[in-house]
Amino acid sequence: MQKHQERVIQEQKELNEKIVKLEDFLGDYDKRLIPSQAEYSLLCRQLDVMQSYNEILIERINLHEEIRKGV
């Protein structure tokens, strides 16, 4: 496996951990922690973008695997 492929895998793992943490944080919505509806909305948008980026990284990882296997 090439270095850039290893970096993509590591980046995806780290991003996924951040996604889980943000999902948990938003799932336990507490107005004391996020007093502004605007802030909450921005965090929801951020989560959406993070999830999209994560999907792209997963697709890249899968593509590298297919190329490696000669599929």
Res. 63 pLDDT band, cuts 50 70 90: very high
- How high is the pLDDT of residue 71? 66
List of long-range contacts for 21-25, beta carbons under 8 Å, 24+ apart = 22/46, 22/47, 22/50, 23/47
Q: Which two tokens stand for residue 19?
A: 């996604």
Q: What is the pLDDT of residues 18-47, one digit of tens each?
A: 999 999 999 887 777 788 889 999 999 999
Rounded Cα–Cα distance for residues 39 and 29 (Å): 12
- Look at residue 52 and tell me whether its pLDDT is greater than 70: yes
Per-residue pLDDT reduced to its tens digit, 1-13: 789 999 999 999 9
pTM exceeds cut of 0.85 = yes
